[in-house]
């Protein structure tokens, strides 16, 4: 028997999954970046930032 703990969505439907917990995600930036950039007022502004990534999301932000 194999056991794996994964975070995210189950992509392979031949696997069986059991939820054992949950988590929350937050978008953060360093104080230095906050000083250099204007305040973000709308989520549509995120792609213009120097770097935004989360490999667990099904779609990449660009």
Please say whether the beta carbons of 62 and 47 come within 8 A.
yes
Average pLDDT over residues 7-14: 74
- Domain positions in the chain: 24-53
pTM of the complete model: 0.40
Q: Tens digit of pLDDT for each residue in 22-60? A: 878 777 888 888 888 878 888 888 878 887 666 666 665
């Amino acid at each position: 028997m194999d056991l794996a703990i994964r975070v995210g969505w189950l992509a392979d439907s031949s696997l069986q999954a059991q939820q054992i917990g949950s988590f929350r995600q937050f978008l953060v930036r360093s104080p230095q970046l906050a000083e250099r950039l204007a305040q973000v007022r709308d989520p549509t502004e995120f792609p213009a930032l120097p770097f935004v990534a989360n490999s667990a999301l099904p779609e990449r932000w660009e």
